[in-house]
Structure formats: C-alpha cells, structure tokens
Amino acid sequence: MIKLIATDLDGTMLDDSKHLPDNFDEVIHDLRSRNIRFAVSSGRSFCTLKKQFESYLNDLIFICDNGAYVYDKGEVVSTSLLPADAVQNIIRFCEAEGLVILLCGKKATWHNGTDSETLGEIRKYYLNEQYLDDLSSFDDEVFKVAIFERKGGIENTAYPKLRARYGEYFNVQLSGERWVDIMNTGITKGSALHHMQNRLGVDYGETMSFGDYLNDIEMLENSYYSFSMENSHSLVKKAANFSTGSNNDNSVMKEIIKLCLQ
C-alpha cells in the first residue's frame, strides 16, 4: 500500500505553462482521507512554494531547494546552510564565467540577472526574487546557489566547469537545460525523502515518486513506485522503475488515481 507520494513540479506535475492539474484539490482531498501523505519536492525555495500552495501549508510536505529545506505541517523539519565563504567563492567564480547567480535564502532569492529574458526565466520559478547589484553584499542564510546559463546547453558548458571546481566539496546537480544547483554534500531530494520516510515510518515499497530531471534521480531511487515522465532526461528514465506520460497530460494525477484512489 502506498503511504507517501513525492513529486517534482516543473516538467513533472506542472504543465509547460506552470499550471497545477485541474483536479489537484480533489486528489489531495482524497489522499488525505486515506492518510496518504503528499510531498511537493522542488528546486524552488520555500518562500516561493508557500505562496503557490498557501492553502496547503498544514497538509503537504515541502521538500525545497532540492532537499536543503524541508517543512511539514507548520514545522521546519531540516535545513542545510551553505557556508558563507563558500557562497562568496561561488559568486566570484560564476561572475568570471558570465553566469547568472541566484542565492536561494531564507529571506529571498538574491540574483544578478538584469535582461528581460533572464528575469522572465527567474520569475517562472522564484516569486520572492530580489536583484542585487553586488551579490557579495547579500545578508541572508543561503540553502542553495542556482546558476543559470543564458544561452542554454549548460550540461556541456558551465556544468562540467562547476563540477570540476566544486564537485569534491558540494553537491553540484544539473537541474534543467539551463540550470545547475549547488547544495551541501549529501543534500538531495532523495536524502530529504528518506528522512521523511523515517519520520513517518514509511518504507521504500510504500513510497511513490515522479520526476523528469537529474536532480530527481535520488528521489526516484528511494521509492519503489518511481515514475519518469515521457519528457524526462534519458538518465532519469533509466533510474525510474516505471514510466508515464508527459507533464502536459496530467500524468502524475492519473497514476496517483490509478494506484492509490481506485
């Protein structure tokens, strides 16, 4: 019996227009009536997710910043802060590479993006975003550094450089076609999901998950009912035990209804 469900948002539960499924309220209500917990698992920060899911703050689990911040029913379950000196080092390196930097913190998401295309991309994922002319002057606790490549193709450009520079000391994850995220070592969506499994007394065989990109792989590996999306990265398809349709076909809700609510 499935007791815990965790799903990524972008490219997974949300369609390409960033809309929730039309039947989201109904499905969450039905899951709650059967004591099945539901976790939103995202690279987005809690300050963004709490606005998007304001009416569900006392019902859902929030795995934020790829596992660096976990919130459940009004309680902060765990946090993982990047060392301030490491953040300063990452800022200097990325500025020299001409990359857009986002510091995902407790107060806001601080960034150096200026052009309209970049700002549009940032605002798709981060509602509480603030421009800083001098990022090194940030005054916040930072859970994650997100790096954006304007031209795209970051998997073959900035990602290898970031892995070579910081991979020995931090978790450097490819999280989108133009995005790389840096968290503390051991911080992943999968480690956060495993923590919640222990907290709730749920095992691998009672857990369901959905994802589409590389920062979802550890989460999929921590659940038997793991689903890759039709639009997933090829490595995600290899990591999942099952596959489903695209994020534009309401596929997450369809699988939940089929396996949990019938």
Task: Pick out the chain residues at pLDDT < 50.
Answer: none
Q: What is the pLDDT of residues 201-231, one digit of tens each?
A: 999 999 999 999 999 999 999 999 999 999 9
The answer as to CATH 3.40.50.1000 being correct for domain 4-79+187-260 is: yes
Q: Residue 151 has what pLDDT?
A: 85
Q: Residue 244 has what pLDDT?
A: 98
Entry field: residues in the chain: 262
Q: Residue 127 has what pLDDT?
A: 87
Q: Please provide residue 30's backbone torsions phi and psi, each rounded to the nearest 5 degrees.
A: -70, -40
The C-alpha atoms of residue 23 and residue 128 are separated, in whole angstroms, by: 27
35-58 CB burial, b ≥16 within 10 A, e <16: ebbbbbbbbbbbbbbbeebeebee
Q: Residue 43 has what pLDDT?
A: 95
- Which residues of the chain form CATH 3.30.1240.10? 84-184
pTM of the complete model beyond 0.85: yes
Q: Residue 152 has what pLDDT?
A: 78
The CATH code of domain 84-184 reads 3.30.1240.10
Q: Are strands 242-243 and 179-184 parallel, antiparallel or unpaired?
A: unpaired
- Which residues of the chain form CATH 3.40.50.1000? 4-79+187-260
Q: Residue 183 has what pLDDT?
A: 98
